Each structure stands twice: as C-alpha cells, then as structure tokens.
C-alpha cells in the first residue's frame, strides 16, 4: 500500500503532537492533596464509587489494589508503569516479571479510567487513579481505620521493563537483611518494612510463592499450618491460598488447626494488625514474613504492632502515603494516558 503525501504529513503531525505532550514528571514535593478539585470536580467520588461497587462484587479485588500500589511505586516511582501491557516496541513489560505473579484489578482500573475520561478527558493520570483506588480499597477493607488524603498530580510513564521490576521488588524468599537493604534503597526504614508487611493480613499468594515454607522446620512455621498449606497446594497446579489463615475455609481449618476455628471470619480480607499475631504464632505464608522475627529491631516492631492495632492503622496509612510519593527517576518524562494499559502514541 502506498500512503498519500497528505496522510504521511498527518501522521508525522500526530507523532509530533504526541512528543510535545510528553512533559517532565513532577517532583514528589509538587504533589498536592486536592490536585483535581478544580481540574476534575468529583473525581475522588467517582473512583470511590467504582471501588466500592467492585469490592461488593468481589472483596478480594481490594487486596489486589493495595498490592498494585506497592508494585507500581517501588519500580520507577508511582508512574503507572506496572499497568502497561506488552506492545510491539515493549515486548517484556513489568507485568511479565515473575515477582509480579498474581497481580490483578487491571480491568477495574481501566473501567475507572474510562469513566473518568468521559467526565474530564485528558486530565487525570492512571498513576493517580491507581493510588486513589488503592486508598479507597484499604479504607473499605479496614472499615475506615486505614485512611489518608492522597497527594496527586502524578504523570504516567513511558517505560516498563520486567527486569527492572524483578530487580527492584522484594522476593518472598528473601531474608531479613536483604529486605532491609531493599527497602533502604527507597529510603524506607526497618520499621516501615515491618509496617508495610502488615498488608499481608489480606489477599492471597500462589503456592509457588511459598514452596520453601512447606519444608521449613517447626521453629519457622507451625507444623499444623505447614500441613494445612501442603494440603491446599496439593489441589490443582499452583493454586492461590489465602494469606491470613482466618480467611481459610472452615473444613480445612477444622481438620488441621481445630483450635483455630473460633477465629475464622465470615468476612474475608479484613485489613488489620492480625498479621503480627499470625507472624508471632508462625502461621504466615511467606519466608519474607517469618524472617522479620529474626532481626532484633524488626522483631521489636512486630511486637509493637501486635500490641496496638490503632497504632498500626495510623502508621500503615502514613507508610502508604510515603510509598505513593516515590518519584520517577530524575529526568523522566510523562503523560496523561488515555488508556491505562497503553502509552498514547501506541493508540495512533
């Protein structure tokens, strides 16, 4: 096929416009609470409406949103890089990284983005929508105990590489010193590592994420819980298992940990400090959870948050805000994506 001169000219013009619309990313200090109050009235209510609706249909989606905030912000800052699909010029995006196994809620974010584009076209970034949605999920799953204002004004990035996600994000087999070093690279303290790990009171993990746990000794994992996990993992190939044993099904718990059935919850995925109690009792899924007990300062904080749930609610809220401010690498450019899974220039 031969393109007419006019068409070629039009295409070049569109490309130039796209390049011109890529602007330098804001610094974290420029993020503002209420950033969209004039630019897109009612935005935060729109996001919240969709999140609440989605959680009513499937409460598990809330955990997916909270994890997405972490996985987006830890890699190139909070720039929506985790949301990009693979494309011709980027065959291996963050989504492909093994460490990103089980990420979900992408469809929900795309649904919210579409609703927001209808209301205020070209104004609200996907990276901001992700943070608002994760905030609303954390609030809903904690009955409002986890709550915070979201500073906004982020841009969506152009770069998304699986190798980068794999290198930056912690692994479930890491020991405490490695986790501490990993979080320190993003200016997070040992205390904040412990606070943020408390997010594992909700959601699920695939058996491949805790294979090693199934043969750890009794001082690292309660044998009855180890047997429960083995049993769960024996059904199907690499099934997901709930992170918090209190969300487990009645029959399984009755069989392996009968003393625990009274603690089972009717409503799963309640975001609270139960992770610290589970951890001290050695009934947590990941090695990276258990290993927090092996370092003095971290262990002290595990006790601190087991003892005071209100303190955890508050400190977890603050730590999520801090995560949400992680900036893109210096000099990065950004845009307001039209669709969260695709950079704008790929839409033409």
Return the structure tokens found at 253.
Answer: 């718990």
Interactions with ligand HEM, residue window 64-93 (CB under 6 A): 64, 66-67, 70
Instruction: Confirm or reject binding of residue 203 to ligand HEM (CB under 6 A).
Output: yes
Pick 235 or 310: Cβ nearer ligand NAG: 310
Pick 77 or 268: Cβ nearer ligand NAG: 77
The torsion angles phi and psi of 266, rounded to 5 degrees, stand at -70, -40
Count of other CB atoms within 10 angstroms of residue 17: 12
Report the alpha-carbon distance of residue 69 to residue 83 in Å, rounded: 11
- Is 268 marked within a binding site? no
- Is 249 marked within a binding site? yes
Binding partner of residue 111 among ligand NAG, ligand HEM, none, CB cut-off 5 to 8 Å per kind: none
Position among 22, 40, 52, 104 found at the interface with ligand HEM (CB under 6 A):
104
Q: Are 38 and 136 in contact (CB under 8 A)?
A: no
Report the alpha-carbon distance of residue 58 to residue 77 in Å, rounded: 28
- Is 315 marked within a binding site? no
Instruction: Confirm or reject binding of residue 308 to ligand NAG (CB under 6 A).
Output: yes
Instruction: Confirm or reject binding of residue 191 to ligand HEM (CB under 6 A).
Output: no
Instruction: Confirm or reject binding of residue 276 to ligand HEM (CB under 6 A).
Output: no
Residue 71: active-site member: yes
Q: In Å, what is the CA distance from 341 to each residue of 10, 107, 125?
A: 25, 9, 12
Q: Are 42 and 119 in contact (CB under 8 A)?
A: yes
**130, containing H or E segment:** helix 126-141
Report the alpha-carbon distance of residue 193 to residue 185 in Å, rounded: 12
Report the alpha-carbon distance of residue 78 to residue 163 in Å, rounded: 17
Position among 14, 214, 281, 311 found at the interface with ligand NAG (CB under 6 A):
311
Position among 81, 127, 142, 197 found at the interface with ligand HEM (CB under 6 A):
197
Instruction: Confirm or reject binding of residue 310 to ligand NAG (CB under 6 A).
Output: yes
Pick 234 or 310: Cβ nearer ligand NAG: 310
Instruction: Confirm or reject binding of residue 324 to ligand HEM (CB under 6 A).
Output: no
Identify the residue whose tokens are 């610094």. 27
Binding partner of residue 80 among ligand NAG, ligand HEM, none, CB cut-off 5 to 8 Å per kind: none
Instruction: Confirm or reject binding of residue 101 to ligand HEM (CB under 6 A).
Output: yes
Return the structure tokens found at 170.
Answer: 């912690």
Estimate to the nearest angstrom the gap between the alpha carbon of 120 and the chain centroid: 26
Nearest distance from residue 207's CB to ligand HEM, in Å? 8
Nearest distance from residue 344's CB to ligand HEM, in Å? 28
Instruction: Confirm or reject binding of residue 327 to ligand HEM (CB under 6 A).
Output: no
Q: Quick one: which of 266, 262, 265 has its CA closest to 254? A: 262
Q: Hey, which residues does 23 pair with through a beta bridge? A: 334
Q: Quick one: which of 270, 101, 245 has its CA closest to 172? A: 101
Q: Which residues bind ligand HEM (CB under 6 A)?
A: 60, 63-64, 66-67, 70, 101-102, 104, 170-172, 174, 179, 196-197, 199-200, 202-206, 209, 240, 286, 288
User: Residues with catalytic annotation?
Assistant: 71
């Amino acid at each position: 096929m031969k393109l007419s001169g006019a068409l070629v000219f039009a295409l070049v013009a569109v490309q130039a416009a796209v390049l011109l619309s890529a602007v330098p990313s804001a610094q974290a200090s420029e993020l503002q609470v209420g950033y969209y109050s004039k630019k897109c009235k009612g935005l935060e209510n729109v996001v919240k409406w969709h999140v609440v609706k989605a959680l009513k249909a499937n409460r598990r989606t809330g955990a997916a949103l909270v994890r997405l905030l972490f996985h987006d912000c830890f890699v190139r800052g909070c720039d929506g890089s985790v949301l990009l699909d693979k494309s011709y010029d980027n065959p291996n995006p963050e989504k492909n990284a093994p460490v990103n196994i089980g990420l979900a809620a992408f469809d929900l974010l795309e649904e919210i983005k579409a609703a927001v584009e209808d209301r205020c076209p070209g104004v609200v970034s996907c990276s901001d929508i992700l943070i608002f949605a994760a905030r609303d999920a954390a609030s809903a799953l904690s009955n409002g105990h986890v709550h915070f204002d979201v500073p906004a004004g982020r841009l969506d990035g152009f770069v998304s590489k699986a190798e980068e996600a794999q290198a930056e994000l912690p692994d479930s087999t890491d020991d405490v010193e490695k986790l501490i070093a990993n979080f320190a690279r993003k200016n997070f303290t040992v205390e904040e590592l412990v606070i943020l790990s408390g997010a594992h009171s909700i959601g699920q993990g695939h058996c491949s994420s805790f294979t090693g746990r199934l043969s750890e000794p009794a001082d690292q994992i309660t044998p009855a819980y180890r047997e429960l996990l083995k049993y769960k993992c024996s059904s199907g190939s690499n099934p997901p298992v709930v992170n918090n044993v209190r969300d487990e099904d009645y029959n399984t718990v009755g069989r392996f940990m009968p003393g625990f059935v009274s603690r089972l919850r009717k409503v799963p995925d309640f975001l609270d400090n139960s992770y610290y109690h589970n951890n001290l009792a050695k009934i947590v899924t990941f090695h990276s959870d258990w290993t927090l007990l092996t370092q003095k300062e971290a262990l002290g904080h595990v006790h601190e948050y087991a003892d005071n749930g209100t303190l955890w609610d508050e400190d977890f809220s603050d730590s999520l805000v801090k995560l949400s401010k992680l900036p893109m690498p210096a000099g990065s450019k950004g845009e307001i994506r039209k669709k969260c899974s695709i950079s704008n220039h790929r839409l033409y």
